[in-house]
Chains A and B, each alone.
Chain A
Amino acid sequence: MSPLGYGLLFVAVAPLLGGLLAGVDRIVSARMQGRVGPPLLQPFYDVGKLFEKDVRQVNPVVEPLLLGHLAFMAASGALVLGGTDLIFTAFVFALAALFLVLAAGSVNSPYSFAGAERELVVLLASEPFFILMLAAVCKVTGESTFGAVLASPVLVALQLPGVLLAFLFVATIKLRKSPFDISTSHHPHQELVNGLTSDMSGRLLGYVELAHWYESALLCAFVLLFFNWSVPLGLLAFAIAYGLEILVDNSTSRAKWQLVLRSSWAVTFLFTGGNVLALFLVGR
């Protein structure tokens, strides 16, 4: 299949996978809490309903910016699967997140604005890791695109164990799981109300949900980069990792943003930086 084909495949299929993942997330969380939980397809019902609702537009810049967020988040994944340089996609990924920040920050609500600032902190905490991770993967395999990494004989996860551990840490931040869900979360009644999404209603909230599904799919693709010798193993690893995330989410309360930033930088610097240093010193 051509690169464009893979890209379009991602755009079409990723929301389905992301939505199912979100459904599984809710059921597993409910079971952990001793409840039954919603039906598996509940996230789809939710988003569908949101698109049917009215929107209370606060200002006109929010909708175009959220469309940008959704478009670039889908594009990040499409570019990765479509064979664009991996490091460049890190920048596109950051741009997608930035659009969300701008959409939320443009509303004068204290909750929305604080959510936007906190999301910038999330970006600051996670972006160094993603750049280093993708650079490390490119360095260790000598390749620069998704397909080439998957085809490479180098066993990435075994060469980059530090990076993989750091990935688990940073993924908690990106997936908006407690204790790092500082900017917004799916659990209501937090100190920022809904944070980023406080003033988004109807289809605007639907865009954010869809973008989150694309993001989950993209993170799954990143896990596949590590387990590049076996896609089924990679998917299993992602499932296990996600299960751990749900467990951590349900067992911890929200951390302060200062702690999130410091710990994330420390983990990135020590584990990822250390692994990268080892690569360069031993290396090719």
Chain B
Amino acid sequence: MSALVVFLVAFPLAVSGVLLAVTKGTLRNAIVVVACVVVAAASLVTVVAFGNGEAIFFGLPGGLTPGHAILVVEVAIAMFVVVVSLQNGRVVAPVMALAQLGIALYLDLGGHLQEPDPQRLFWFDRLTMVMVLVIGVVGPLICIHALGYMRDYQRSNPQIGGRRTSFFFLLFLFLASMFGLVVSNDLQLLLVFWEITTLCSFLLIGYTRTKETVSYAFDALNMNLLGGLGFSVAILLLAGRPDGLDLARLTAGPAAATLLPAIALLSLAGITKSAQMPFSSWLLGAMYAPSPTSALLHSSTMVKAGVFLLLRLSPAMAGSAVGTMVAFVGLLTFLFASLVAVTEQNTKKVLAYSTIGSLGLIVGCAGIGTPELVWVGVMIVIFHAVAKALLFLVVGTLENRLYTKDMENFDTLLSRMPRVSALALTGIAGMFIAPFGIVVAKWTAIRAFLEVPGFAGAAFLVIMAFGSSLTIFYWGKLLIKILSMRGIEPYERSVEDRVTRYEWFSEAALAVGVIGVAAGLGLISDHVVGPYALEAFSAAPRVFLHLDPAVVVVMLVAVLFLPALAIWTSRGSGYDLADFYTSGRTANAGHLMGAALGGTRTVTLRNYYLEGVVNGVLVFRAGTLVCGVILAATILVALAASR
């Protein structure tokens, strides 16, 4: 088992090194494809070897300890940050990086750190299994997509030139560090992998090296380093205790009051990494990066590291004021992000806000900390990772082909690009339509909130009600645009033919995944997520809310069948796409209608963005302020409680 885990971390690392040296395109493509297959296979093998049983703990082969190796890596990271920041004239980032390094040096060289138990370096349980599958399956699919996508992206952004080697180097480095992150039990080891993902994110956001993207990259770096600093301080607080840095022991049950400040600081790290308010702006800035980055880092995987940590902390926070306040931060983020998403026209930004909102839901569930809600959280991790990755990749494909991200330009997509539309529809359905998983999760969450006592329970219910309705609104708008049709010229039909086979493969695989996890929800719940939730809280066995499988299948078939029927019949005749009612004026299928005095006018149909009712900018600022205050209060409350 330890060999497998080491392989999962070391292999992508090795591949990334190799890719740094390879410059020939065809050779790189081949290496990436092979490496992706190997990573996926290795993930599956690891999961099978684990066998879906009780949690296991193990160390490095041969009983090695990381010893000072961790410190060396931390020095390297800090030096890198300082150098790059000074090159760009930034000050905040190097200060934080040096502070973190300072703490690490103090602990290690000052002898305040105990030796970690060599047999408890790594922790593999069902949650790890889920994360490994998400990283190991969704990650390689995104890398394969990137092979096709980056070729076209480079054509529109020639300044990135020969830096495609570094792009794939970063993707594989990132995969390696994510694997390391989710299997680590020692907090110091976890922090190292955590910071490497921060660096990868920073470098990938700033990939095109325009002034704008560099600025956004540093925003991301600053916020994530702040979280990392919080993490370091938490380690400082925990270092003196026996088993202080053993994550499993720390979170085995409700934390003692003296540990709450550390828990609160670790939550801070999780909140910054998962772009919860007040730290959401870095994720929005990350949308200016190429789509595979958005898909991999900022929806399926890296931000999941943040909620992964919070889910781990959930048993420790449960029932405490810290937990409740963290839950408020998450759920209020969900509400505010959904409100802003309604006003957005840029599709990638809508996807970003949706991600922030979904993560907010998970954070809310983790903060409250009951088996049902942790069940909900893990379910959302699974469903969201697959569906959102698919959506980001599809939007990337659309952006490459149509040169736009504005959802107003995605109308009549069903006519122009029917196959891509089918994929987009699957992804969107997976995000909010019953019986797809996220709806089942929301339903369970609402039922679980009914049991939360007092003001918090009522508030959570109200937030869920309004938040869910808002998600229907913005996804509905996107669906309307995609489902419309008009007569198209033959040359327009050929636009879809230029989508590369890498993109088709990865998007189709993810679409199958969306449907598969929806159909298999019962199985996933009974065999993986349910047992995990019970194990984490040492709770008595119970039945988790579920639908009659017959109902699930019927609904799934209905929801999929109807659009499929629509797409299939769209090839037929007997339809007059120009025959819509325009007060008796004639229109043609290209959106021109006859107007007064013999002229023509274009029919433009624009979505509602709730101008005059919701001011997106104000709402975002309000959310940042409110959640910032609550977060600050959380840390203060934790400090007060620990006295």
Direct contact of A and B (CB under 8 A): yes
B610 contact set on A, CB distance < 8 A: 261
A134-156 contact mask (Cβ, 8 Å, vs B): 1 or 0: 01001100001000000000000
- Contact stretch, chosen from A17-25, A84-92, A217-225, A247-255: A84-92
CB distance from A258 to the nearest CB of B (A): 5
**Is B83 an interface residue when CB atoms closer than 8 A count as contact?**
no
**Is B90 an interface residue when CB atoms closer than 8 A count as contact?**
no
B: which residues have CB within 8 A of A?
412, 414, 433-434, 439, 442-443, 446-447, 449-450, 453-455, 457-459, 461-462, 464-466, 468-470, 472-473, 476-477, 479-481, 483-486, 545, 547, 551, 555, 558-559, 562-563, 565-567, 569-570, 572, 574-577, 579-583, 587, 591, 603, 605, 607-608, 610, 612-613
The number of residues on chain A lying at the interface, defined by a beta carbon within 8 Å of a beta carbon of chain B, is 68
B581→A59 contact, CB < 8 A? no
Please report the C-alpha to C-alpha distance between residue A230 and residue B413 in the assembled complex, in whole angstroms.
Answer: 52
B476 contact set on A, CB distance < 8 A: 98, 101-102, 120, 123
Please report the C-alpha to C-alpha distance between residue A176 and residue B577 in the assembled complex, in whole angstroms.
Answer: 29
* Sample of 17 further A-B pairs with CB below 8 A, known A95-B433, A108-B605, A129-B465: A56-B579, A57-B574, A58-B575, A61-B483, A65-B562, A68-B562, A85-B443, A101-B480, A108-B412, A121-B473, A128-B468, A132-B465, A138-B447, A198-B581, A262-B613, A269-B462, A280-B455
A105-B480, A124-B472, A281-B454 given as contacts; is B485 within 8 A of A117 (CB)?
A: no
Can you show 20 pairs from A to B with CB atoms below 8 A apart?
Answer: A56-B576, A57-B574, A58-B577, A61-B567, A64-B565, A67-B562, A85-B545, A102-B476, A105-B479, A105-B484, A108-B605, A117-B608, A120-B477, A124-B470, A128-B469, A268-B466, A269-B462, A280-B453, A281-B455, A283-B453
Q: Which 3 A-B pairs have the closest CB atoms?
A: A105-B480, A109-B580, A61-B566
CB distance from B518 to the nearest CB of A (A): 14
Please report the C-alpha to C-alpha distance between residue A257 and residue B613 in the assembled complex, in whole angstroms.
Answer: 10
Name the residue of chain B whose CB is nearest to the CB of A261: B613
B608→A121 contact, CB < 8 A? yes
Select B465's contact among A56, A60, A135, beta carbons within 8 Å. A135
B580→A58 contact, CB < 8 A? yes
Name the residue of chain B whose CB is nearest to the CB of A275: B458
B587 contact set on A, CB distance < 8 A: 108
CB distance from A103 to the nearest CB of B (A): 9
**Is A276 an interface residue when CB atoms closer than 8 A count as contact?**
yes
Please report the C-alpha to C-alpha distance between residue A67 and residue B414 in the assembled complex, in whole angstroms.
Answer: 19
Interface SS, A side: helix
Please report the C-alpha to C-alpha distance between residue A107 and residue B465 in the assembled complex, in whole angstroms.
Answer: 30
A57 contact set on B, CB distance < 8 A: 574-576
**Is A199 an interface residue when CB atoms closer than 8 A count as contact?**
yes
A135→B446 contact, CB < 8 A? yes
Please report the C-alpha to C-alpha distance between residue A60 and residue B476 in the assembled complex, in whole angstroms.
Answer: 19
A91→B582 contact, CB < 8 A? no
Select B591's contact among A60, A108, A132, A277, beta carbons within 8 Å. A108
B481 contact set on A, CB distance < 8 A: 105
B581 contact set on A, CB distance < 8 A: 109, 111-112, 193, 198-199
Interface SS, B side: helix
Please report the C-alpha to C-alpha distance between residue A58 and residue B570 in the assembled complex, in whole angstroms.
Answer: 11
Please report the C-alpha to C-alpha distance between residue A179 and residue B545 in the assembled complex, in whole angstroms.
Answer: 40
| Interface-central residue, A58, A59, A88, by most chain B CB under 10 Å | A59
B480→A116 contact, CB < 8 A? yes
A193 contact set on B, CB distance < 8 A: 581, 583
**Is A15 an interface residue when CB atoms closer than 8 A count as contact?**
no
**Is A209 an interface residue when CB atoms closer than 8 A count as contact?**
no
B570→A102 contact, CB < 8 A? no
CB distance from B430 to the nearest CB of A (A): 14
A120 contact set on B, CB distance < 8 A: 472-473, 476-477, 480, 608
Please report the C-alpha to C-alpha distance between residue A132 and residue B463 in the assembled complex, in whole angstroms.
Answer: 10
B461 contact set on A, CB distance < 8 A: 132, 135, 276
Please report the C-alpha to C-alpha distance between residue A117 and residue B469 in the assembled complex, in whole angstroms.
Answer: 14
CB distance from A192 to the nearest CB of B (A): 11
Select B480's contact among A102, A277, A281, beta carbons within 8 Å. A102
Select B575's contact among A59, A117, A123, A258, beta carbons within 8 Å. A59
Name the residue of chain A whose CB is nearest to the CB of B486: A108
A277→B455 contact, CB < 8 A? yes
Select A108's contact among B449, B450, B603, beta carbons within 8 Å. B603
A132→B462 contact, CB < 8 A? yes
Select A61's contact among B439, B485, B559, beta carbons within 8 Å. B485
Name the residue of chain A whose CB is nearest to the CB of B453: A280
Please report the C-alpha to C-alpha distance between residue A134 and residue B603 in the assembled complex, in whole angstroms.
Answer: 41
A110→B469 contact, CB < 8 A? no
**Is A50 an interface residue when CB atoms closer than 8 A count as contact?**
no
CB distance from A252 to the nearest CB of B (A): 21
Name the residue of chain B whose CB is nearest to the CB of A277: B458
Name the residue of chain A whose CB is nearest to the CB of B479: A102
